[in-house]
């Protein structure tokens, strides 16, 4: 297929909208050609992941574009960065990383990015609707936008995210097109006990096993409740995007492009159908734990960032308890959600109990944990998957209830009954 | 069919054929050029100066930054040869070329060429495609 650019695209590439837009358009054009796209299309928003420091090249690119006068042309949110600007004492980064992290954040704000510093931009009031084309980076945000909102984004990431924001354009390829949004693999929940089927802990475990089996193919899930909570789908998508490369899923009867299994499959046959029973789920749960017996040193929740509803749940669970001496307990969230939860009164009880709130960043990418010799407990499939290699820590996976019970008693405790054990 | 130049350029080096795709984020140390993903079959091998051959890209989109950083530091492969197009690898190479004027060609090999690439062979990337020299 030959790429056809509009007159405006060509003007942009030749510098009519400034040097930054010209660089961005040149890069987009090359990617569109590699993808075999026929044209570029408009997006209504962008979410930038490049604001996390990975080395000088990323900083050089951002500063080059910002110095050239680059300005975003669509509403643009910014993903987690390398620092917590609201609670700087929590991050134990060296001077160089602090300096580079700050400069990188400043460059993206200078280009017009909104300093949201969150991996969950979908927890804001303004979010894209069904069929809307967006350019979102960060794997969990991508899978949420495509699956739960029915918006359309490819797996954007470093560099191309800001190119899309500076031009408002993306190649028409991949998940922007109907053809690539239909499910290929079907996961069928079979004979799951009611207590697990309605538990929050089901979602990250199911997401983890789907990612492992589906890879980058779009899965459809049959058997989730029609009122499955957004926080559950958030956890499922994040885990599936981490253990596999899932950028979109269909929950039949729950997500907007899957009123029926047939609709999710686009009227075609599934390449494969996988039955998920209690045994399969238990095995996936166990894969997320590297050490269930060691001494507990910390608990981390809020990967992806905690929602207002999750603050309510945690505030209720922690009521009347305090975090045991020597145990660190972190909640990762965004500034916006933190302000909303604080206004509701669900933040104070957490802090009073000894829980630290982290904003702008996340405990699995930034040096925050003070002690990494013991086991860290989490209710996040994504955190459990990445932290052992990123931070070199041992991980125990459990529900939010398990995390609270473990943190307050000081030793790893998990409710086995819900798993039929 | 011919080899597809996603990012055209000239390079010569010894082929390093990976048995599995490599996520450069968490998989390649840009300071040293070493493959550091301990679950990868070629873990511990130096990619610097090699013609890196792998079936596809893998994993985090932050891999673009890591490749660009390795190119900046001179620890990167001299070229990347793939069996299928990969935006993340291409972006890293494109941005490094924009910023530093260093070209790390990215090529999608035609299937029969790809199957003849083995670790240790001398390979040249030219403006028209891949030449296996020995």
The single residue of B23, B43, B56, B60 carrying the catalytic annotation is B60
Q: What pLDDT score was predicted for residue A365?
A: 87
> Is residue A44 located within the same domain as residue A16?
yes
> Is residue A213 located within the same domain as residue A276?
yes
Position B60 pLDDT exceeds 80: no
Give the closest-approach CA distance of A231 to chain B in angstroms. Answer: 23
Q: Is residue A323 domain-resident?
A: yes
Domain stop point among A162, A178, A194: A178
Cα torsion angle, B36, B37, B43, B47, sign: negative
> Is residue A272 located within the same domain as residue A412?
no
Q: Is residue A241 domain-resident?
A: yes
DSSP assignment of B52-81 equals: EEESSB-S-TTHHHHHHHHHHHT-S-SEEE
> Is residue A294 located within the same domain as residue A277?
no
Domain that holds residue A333: 290-419
Q: What pLDDT score was predicted for residue A205?
A: 98
> Is residue A149 located within the same domain as residue A267?
no
Position B58 pLDDT exceeds 90: no
Q: What pLDDT score was predicted for residue A45?
A: 98
Report CB contact under 8 Å: A389, B69: no
Q: How far is CA A252 from CA A65, A85, A189, A300, in A?
A: 43, 40, 11, 31
CA–CA distance, A236 with A380 (Å, rounded to integer): 9
Q: What pLDDT score was predicted for residue B61?
A: 79
Question: Which chain B residues touch A27 with a CB distance below 8 Å?
Answer: 91, 94-95, 98
For the beta sheet containing A76-78, the strands, ordered from the edge strand earlier in sequence to the opposite edge, are: A76-78, A46-48, A135-136
Report CB contact under 8 Å: B62, A57: no
For the beta sheet containing B122-125, the strands, ordered from the edge strand earlier in sequence to the opposite edge, are: B4-7, B106-108, B79-82, B51-54, B11-17, B122-125, B130-132
Position B99 pLDDT exceeds 90: yes
> Is residue A148 located within the same domain as residue A208?
no
Phi then psi dihedrals of residue A221, to 5 deg: -115, 130
Q: What pLDDT score was predicted for residue B62?
A: 87
Give residue B125's pLDDT band: very low, low, confident or very high (50, 70, 90): very high
CA–CA distance, A237 with A249 (Å, rounded to integer): 8
Report CB contact under 8 Å: A55, B66: yes
CA–CA distance, A381 with A145 (Å, rounded to integer): 19
What's the whole-model pTM score?
0.95
| Per-residue pLDDT of chain A in tens (421 residues, 90 and over written 9) | 799 999 999 999 999 999 999 999 999 999 999 999 999 999 999 999 999 999 999 999 999 999 999 999 999 999 999 999 999 999 998 899 999 999 999 999 999 999 999 999 999 988 999 999 999 999 999 999 999 999 999 999 999 999 999 999 999 999 999 999 999 999 999 999 999 999 999 999 999 999 999 988 999 999 999 999 999 999 999 999 998 889 999 999 999 999 999 999 999 999 999 999 999 999 999 999 999 998 999 999 999 999 999 999 999 999 999 999 999 999 999 999 999 999 999 999 999 999 999 999 999 988 999 988 899 999 999 999 989 888 889 999 999 999 999 999 999 999 999 998 6
Closest CA to A319 of A294, A298, A348, A283: A348
| Number of domains observed in the structure of chain A | 3
Task: State the CATH number of the domain containing residue A15.
Answer: 3.30.499
Q: Is residue A1 domain-resident?
A: no
Question: Which chain A residues touch B30 with a CB distance below 8 Å?
Answer: 55
Domain stop point among A132, A157, A178: A178
User: How many Cβ pairs within 8 Å bridge chains A and B?
Assistant: 93
State the burial class of residue A271 (Cβ atoms within 10 Å of its Cβ: 0-12, 13-18, 19+).
Answer: exposed
Domain stop point among A161, A178, A195: A178
Say which of A23, A33, A155 has its CB closest to residue B98. Answer: A23
> Is residue A322 located within the same domain as residue A344?
yes
Q: What pLDDT score was predicted for residue A82?
A: 93
pLDDT tens across A203-247, in order?
999 999 999 999 889 999 999 999 999 999 999 999 999 988 899
The separation between CA A127 and the C-alpha centre of its own chain, rounded to angstroms, equals 15
Say which of B38, B65, B90 has its CB closest to residue A58. Answer: B65
> Is residue A174 located within the same domain as residue A193?
no
Q: What pLDDT score was predicted for residue A348?
A: 98
Give residue B26's pLDDT band: very low, low, confident or very high (50, 70, 90): confident
> Is residue A360 located within the same domain as residue A413?
yes
Q: Is residue A336 domain-resident?
A: yes
> Given CB atoms, is A58 within the 8 Å cutoff of chain B?
yes
Q: Is residue A338 domain-resident?
A: yes
Direct distance between the N- and C-terminal alpha carbons of chain B, in angstroms, rounded to an integer: 22
> Is residue A170 located within the same domain as residue A111?
yes
């Amino acid at each position: 297929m030959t790429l056809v650019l509009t007159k405006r695209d060509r003007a942009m590439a030749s510098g009519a909208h400034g040097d930054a837009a010209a660089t961005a358009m040149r890069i987009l054009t090359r990617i569109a050609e590699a993808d075999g796209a026929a044209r570029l299309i408009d997006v209504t928003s962008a979410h930038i992941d490049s604001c996390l420091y990975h080395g000088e090249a990323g900083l050089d690119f951002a500063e080059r574009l910002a110095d050239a006068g680059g300005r975003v042309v669509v509403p643009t949110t910014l993903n987690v960065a390398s620092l917590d600007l609201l609670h700087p004492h929590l991050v134990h980064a060296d001077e160089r990383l602090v300096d580079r992290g700050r400069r990188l954040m400043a460059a993206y704000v200078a280009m017009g990015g909104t300093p949201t510093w969150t991996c969950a931009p979908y927890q804001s009031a303004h979010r894209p609707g069904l069929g809307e084309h967006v350019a979102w980076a960060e794997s969990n945000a991508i899978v949420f936008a495509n699956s739960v909102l029915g918006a359309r984004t490819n797996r954007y990431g470093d560099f191309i995210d800001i190119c899309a924001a500076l031009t408002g354009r993306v190649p028409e390829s991949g998940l922007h097109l109907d053809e690539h949004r239909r499910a290929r693999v079907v996961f069928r929940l079979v004979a799951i006990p009611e207590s697990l089927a309605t538990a929050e802990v089901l979602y990250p475990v199911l997401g983890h096993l789907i990612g492992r089996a589906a890879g980058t193919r779009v899965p459809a899930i049959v058997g989730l409740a029609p009122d499955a909570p957004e926080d559950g789908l958030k956890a499922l998508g994040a885990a599936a995007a981490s253990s596999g490369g899932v950028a979109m899923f269909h929950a039949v009867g729950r997500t907007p492009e899957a009123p029926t299994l047939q609709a999710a499959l686009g009227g075609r046959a599934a390449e494969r159908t996988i039955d998920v029973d209690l045994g399969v789920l238990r095995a996936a749960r166990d894969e997320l734990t590297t050490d269930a017996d060691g001494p507990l040193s910390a608990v981390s929740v809020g990967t992806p960032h905690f929602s207002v509803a999750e603050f309510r749940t945690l505030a209720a669970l922690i009521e009347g308890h305090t975090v045991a001496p020597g145990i660190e307990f972190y909640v990762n969230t965004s500034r916006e959600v933190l302000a909303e939860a604080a206004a509701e009164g669900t933040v104070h009880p957490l802090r009073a109990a000894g829980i630290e709130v982290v904003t702008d960043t996340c405990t699995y990418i930034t040096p925050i944990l003070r002690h990494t010799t013991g086991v860290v407990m989490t209710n996040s499939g994504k955190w459990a998957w990445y932290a052992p290699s990123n931070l070199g820590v041992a991980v125990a996976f459990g529900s939010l209830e398990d995390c609270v019970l473990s943190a307050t008693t000081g030793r790893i405790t998990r409710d086995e009954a819900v798993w039929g054990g | 069919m011919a080899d597809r130049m996603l990012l055209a350029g000239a390079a010569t080096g010894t082929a390093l054929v990976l048995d599995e795709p490599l996520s450069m984020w968490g998989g390649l140390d840009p300071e040293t050029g070493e493959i550091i993903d301990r679950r990868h079959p070629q873990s511990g091998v130096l990619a610097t100066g090699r013609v890196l051959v792998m079936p596809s890209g893998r994993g985090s989109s932050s891999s673009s930054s890591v490749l660009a950083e390795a190119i900046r530091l001179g620890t990167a492969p001299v070229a990347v040869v793939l069996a299928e197009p990969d935006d993340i690898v291409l972006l890293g190479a494109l941005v490094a070329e924009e910023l530093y004027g260093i070209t790390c060609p990215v090529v999608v090999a035609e299937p029969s060429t790809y199957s003849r690439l083995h670790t240790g062979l001398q390979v040249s990337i030219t403006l028209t495609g891949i030449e296996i020299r020995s």
